[in-house]
Structure 1
Amino acid sequence: MEKNINELTNGLTIADVANEACCSVATASRVLSGSKYPVSTAMRTRVLDAAAKLGYSDNLKKRMLATDQNPFLGVIIPTFQNPRYLQFINGIEQAANREGHSTFIMNSHRNPVLERQLINSLIQKKIGALLLMSVDESSESLRHYLDLGGFACVFESNFPDLPNVLNAKENRFEAGRIATEHLLSQGHHSIAFLTTPLKHFQSRRLTLDGCRFAIEKHALPFSFQNIFMASEESDSKDSMYELEVGYSMAEKILQHPNRYTGIVCQNDMLAYGLISGLKAAGAHVPNNISVVGIDNIHFDNISFPRLTTVDTLAGMLAQRATQFMIRMDDYVDTNLVPLSMKPELIVRESVRAIG
Structure 2
Amino acid sequence: MRRSSPTMRDVANHAGVSVQTVSCVINETGNISEETRLRVLNAIEALNYKRNAIARSMRTRRTRMIALLVMDITNPVLSVIASTIEAAAYAQNYTVLLYNTGLDPAREQAYVDSIGDRRADGAIMVNAIGREHALQLVENHIPTVIIDCVTDSPLPTVSVDNLRGAYLATEHLINLGHRRIAHIGGSHRLEIARQREAGYLQALADHNLTYRRSLPSESVQWGYQHGYTAMHRLLQDDERPTAVFAASDELAIGAYRALAEAGLRVPDDISVVGFDNIEAAAYTTPPLTTIHQPFAELGERAFELLLGMLDEANGTPANIVLPPRLVIRGSTAEVR
Instruction: Determine the structure 2 residue equivalent to 1:191.
Output: 181
| Residues in 1 aligned to 2:307 and 2:59: alpha-carbon distance in whole angstroms | 14
- Which stretches in structure 2 are left out of the alignment for 5+ residues? 1-56
Q: Deviations over 1:112-171 (max 9, x none)?
A: 1111111112111001211102443451x3333212221111112678512xx3211221
Length-normalised TM-score, structure 2: 0.77
Secondary structure in structure 1 of the residue aligned to 2:321: coil
Instruction: Tell me if structure 2 keeps the 8 A contact 1:190–1:261.
Output: yes
Cα-to-partner distance string for 1:166-222 (whole Å, 9 max, x where unaligned): 2112211111101101111111111000012213x2111111111111111111125
Looking at structure 2, the residues matched to 243 and 300 of structure 1 have their Cα atoms a distance apart, in angstroms, of 13
Q: CA deviation at 1:229?
A: 2.1
Report if the CA contact (8 A) 2:308-2:315 is conserved: no
Secondary structure of the equivalent of 2:281?
A: coil
1:319 pairs, out of 291, 297, 300, with 300
2:65 is aligned to 72
Deviations 1:31-74 (A, max 9, x none): xxxxxxxxxxxxxxxxxxxxxxxxxxxxxxxxx99875421221
- TM-score, normalised via structure 1 length: 0.73
Q: Residue 227 of structure 1 aligns to which amino acid in structure 2?
A: S
Q: Which residue is equivalent to 2:85?
A: 92
Structure 2 residue aligned with 1:251: 232
SS in 2 for 1:294: coil
Q: Post-superposition shift, 1:274?
A: 0.8
Q: Distance in 1 between matches of 2:223 and 2:60?
A: 38
CA distance in 1, matches of 2:248, 2:296: 15
Q: 1:97 to 1:281 in 2, by over 3 A?
A: same
Q: CA deviation at 1:93?
A: 2.2
Match of 2:170 among 173, 180, 189: 180
Question: Structure 1: any 5+ residue segments left out of the alignment?
Answer: 1-63, 235-240
Equivalent runs, 1:123-162 vs 2, <5 Å:
123-139=116-132, 141-156=133-148, 161-162=153-154
SS of equivalent to 1:196 = coil
Choose the corresponding residue for 1:169, options 119, 143, 159. Answer: 159
Report the residue type matching 2:248 in the other structure: N
Q: Which one of 235, 248, 253 corresponds to residue 267 of structure 1?
A: 248
CA separation in 2, counterparts of 1:321 and 1:206?
21
Pairwise CA RMSD of aligned residues?
Answer: 2.5
Structure 1 runs, 4 residues or longer, greater than 6 Å off: 64-67
Q: Does 1:231 align with 2:224?
A: no
Report the residue type matching 2:118 in the other structure. K
1:339 pairs with 2:329? no
Q: Does 1:280 align with 2:270?
A: no
Q: CA 1:309/1:173 → structure 2, altered by over 3 Å: closer, same or farther?
A: same
CA distance in 2, matches of 1:324, 1:129: 11
- Equivalence for 1:83: 76
Aligned-pair CA distance for 1:258? 2.0
Deviation at 1:317, TM superposition (A): 1.8
CA deviation after TM superposition for structure 1 residue 333, in Å: 7.9
Q: 1:108 to 1:160 in 2, by over 3 A?
A: farther
Q: In 1, distance between residues paired with 2:210 and 2:299?
A: 37
Contact 1:65/1:149 (<8 A) preserved: no
Residue type of the alignment partner of 1:154: I
Change (3 A) 1:332 1:350: farther
Structure 1 residue 232: Cα displacement: 3.1
Q: How far, CA to CA, are the matches of 1:68 and 1:299 in structure 2?
A: 44
Q: Is the CA contact 2:309–2:315 (under 8 Å) kept in the aligned structure 1? A: no
Give the structure 1 partner of residue 98 of structure 2.
105
Check whether the contact 1:135–1:157 (CA below 8 A) recurs between aligned residues: no
* Shift of residue 257, structure 1, vs aligned partner: 1.6
Residue 346 (structure 1) shift: 0.7
Shift of 1:254: 1.1
Deviates further, 149-158 or 101-110: 149-158
SS of 1:180 mapped into structure 2: helix
- SS of the counterpart of 2:160? coil
Give the aligned length: 281
